[in-house]
Structure 1
Amino acid sequence: MNLIKIKVIISLAIFVVAIVLIMLQLPENSQGEVIVLSDNESVDKSPLSVTIMHPEGVGPHPAAVLLHGCYGVSNKHHQWSKTLNEWGYTTLIVDSFSLQGIQEICTADDRIWQHFNQQRPKDALIALNYLQSLSEVNSNEIVLFGWSYGGAITLKVLEKSSTTQGKGYSAGIAFYPSCWQYQQYMMSGKDYKAAVPIRILMGEDDEWTRPIHCQQLLNSDKDELQQQLWTYAGAYHNFDDQQQRYQFLNHVRRESKQHPWGGVHVGYNKQAHLDAQAAIKTFLKNNFSEQKRLSPEALLDAAASL
């Protein structure tokens, strides 16, 4: 009997050791490492939560900053981060809400929106400065991604006439931004001119942020290679979120002064998602090898203007 017990104990010990060895070989956190950053140049020094995710290899790697929409960080941003990691990018998901006790602002009043209209471009700069401090990152190859409200912030940060222009970002990707909101609340000039190549991606059937407003915003630009609008047939808002079922959302902020609240359709579209992935991969590959960089002097002057 004692011999049997000893064999059982030995077997259990071997099993436990095997499990431990397997666990040690797994990634520490498939969702990335959460870091709290602070803006040392700001008066209130508001902390900012970010999640960094790494590609394979030593680097230096190109990098991407990801800005969420009015519903905050979701699985969609982590999935895009993993895709970018596979392409060789270090990624930083910026969470502008959680440390301020905010879950979402899709239903918030104008006062809340105005606060974040001022804060979020600064968040994009804090994230950029952090990535540029990392030895694993190529500081000349950092792209700014934004979704919905974050897409509008991306337009603002990369606008030529903006006080936050350039800052070392090499390109921009804006998923279904509210170009109407951008024109209403954040635009500093009459004609939109991007400081770097930028692409806007939208579903043709998007009712929440309508492509027509982005088309009007870009109509004045004669440099078609600098900024373009790409649309996808049969796609609604949030078409790239694999967890977004087709549904109708009631009472959300819309693009209208007369009827600012209403209902919209949202839903995942696999083909549009795959097409967007392929288009973005090609866009980044082309622009990071050819993009002209702002001089160090220009970056210092821009930083001093904040």
Structure 2
Amino acid sequence: MQFKMIAALAMFLAGFGSAMAETVFTPDMTVREEIYPYATQTLSDEQFLTGSAGKAEQIGGILRLPQGKGPFPAVVFMHGSSGVGASIDPWTRMLNEKGIATFTIDSLTGRGFKQLGDKQAALGRLNYIVDIYGALDILAHHDTIDPKRIGLLGFSRGGQAALYASMTRFNDLWNTSGARFATYVPFYPNCVSVYKDDEKLEAGPVRIFHGGADDYNEPGVCEAYVERLKKAGADIEMTIYPEGEHGFDVPTLFGKSLQSKTAQTARDCKIEEGENGILMNLETGKPFSYEDECVVLGPHVGGNAAAAEASYAATITHFMNTFGLN
């Protein structure tokens, strides 16, 4: 009996050792995680656009450091309306493997939300930008991060925030970090709003990735904005994957196309900043509201492995070039 127990233990340890040998220190493994609670505000779009104070809040973020010796370049992740999801992990692993730290913001949990898909009005459309600048402040003063090599990558509502976080006006209003992002990379953002001075961007290049089959945030409006920015001299490019739907890079959605029946989309709206920071619906001539007829329900989300792989390669290459890692 004792012999059998010893033999069983030996087999277990052998199997455990074999499993460990398969997983120890692959290049994409995070070597250290640091969790940061930090102060921010919940703001209406009017408050954001006029530089007015909102409600004090505390949210959090996770810094994941790669193997090696710093100071490291870093990329801030800004999630979409659904919160931190399955798209983040592959990005973290790919960037960590290249020696790039990541900082994942959670803008929702600290505010008492799980998701915003069917209640977009619950948080100002621009509020994520304040959270983004707060993350930049943490990283710019971290002893293992290079403050001149910090990039921003956002998805959906977070992609919208990543796009407009590049505006000089918004940096002047809300970015107190003393640093600027080295580059801005929005994935499938909404571009339906026109803001004052939205053609004046910071120096960091902007690279947008969108799906041609996206009916959540249709890419055509972004194309028009990109052309307007190019004429103004901005360093901006947009890549469209024809078969890509909203969320094309999310691994759990590969091969699927799902309708978000209760999700709200402003894809058909025409919104422009008016006096005193009021966002106006140009079709009604009244302040924009998520009760407006242009807001519709039922957009789709879907992953596309080919588009994801292409966007991974293009984005990682862009970060490597921007951070001087090639």
The TM-score normalised by the length of structure 2 is 0.74
1:177–1:209 Cα contact (<8 Å) kept: yes
Structure with greater contact order relative to length (CA < 8 Å, sep ≥ 6)? 2
Cα deviation for residue 170 of structure 1 reads: 0.5
2:211–2:243 Cα contact (<8 Å) kept: yes
2:117–2:262 Cα contact (<8 Å) kept: no
Q: Which structure shows the bigger proportion of residues in helix conformation?
A: 1
Distance 1:93 1:232, change over 3 A: same
Structure 2: state its 5+ residue gaps: 42-52, 270-292
Q: Which amino acid is the alignment partner of residue 242 of structure 2?
A: A
Residues 1:103 and 2:114 are matched in the alignment: yes
- Separation (CA, whole Å) in 2 of partners of 1:154 and 1:199: 10
Distance 1:43 1:10, change over 3 A: farther
Structure 1: state its 5+ residue gaps: 291-306
- Separation (CA, whole Å) in 2 of partners of 1:238 and 1:55: 26
Which segment drifts farther, 231-240 or 263-272? 263-272
- Separation (CA, whole Å) in 2 of partners of 1:279 and 1:224: 23
Distance 1:188 1:14, change over 3 A: farther
* CA deviation profile, 1:142-194 (whole Å, cap 9, x unmatched): 001100000111122211222246832110100000011x43xxx34253534
Residues 1:169 and 2:178 are matched in the alignment: no
1:36–1:47 Cα contact (<8 Å) kept: no
Q: Which amino acid is the alignment partner of residue 88 of structure 2?
A: H
Instruction: Give the match for residue 222 of structure 1.
Output: 231
Instruction: Give the match for residue 90 of structure 1.
Output: 101
Three-state SS of the structure 2 residue aligned to 1:228 is strand
1:178–1:209 Cα contact (<8 Å) kept: yes
- Separation (CA, whole Å) in 2 of partners of 1:86 and 1:39: 30
- Separation (CA, whole Å) in 2 of partners of 1:213 and 1:237: 15
Q: Structure 1 vs Structure 2: percent identity of aligned residues?
A: 23
Instruction: Give the match for residue 252 of structure 2.
Output: 243
| Aligned mate of 1:48, from 59, 62, 66 | 59
- Separation (CA, whole Å) in 1 of partners of 2:40 and 2:306: 43
Cα deviation for residue 135 of structure 1 reads: 2.4
| Aligned mate of 1:202, from 210, 213, 220 | 210
Three-state SS of the structure 1 residue aligned to 2:297 is strand
| Aligned mate of 1:153, from 143, 148, 161 | 161
- Separation (CA, whole Å) in 2 of partners of 1:30 and 1:90: 9
Q: CA RMSD in A?
A: 3.1
Residues 1:38 and 2:69 are matched in the alignment: no
Instruction: Give the match for residue 294 of structure 1.
Output: none
Distance 1:160 1:190, change over 3 A: closer
Q: Which amino acid is the alignment partner of residue 207 of structure 2?
A: R
* CA deviation profile, 1:68-121 (whole Å, cap 9, x unmatched): 0001000111221111111211001100001222011111152x132x633x22
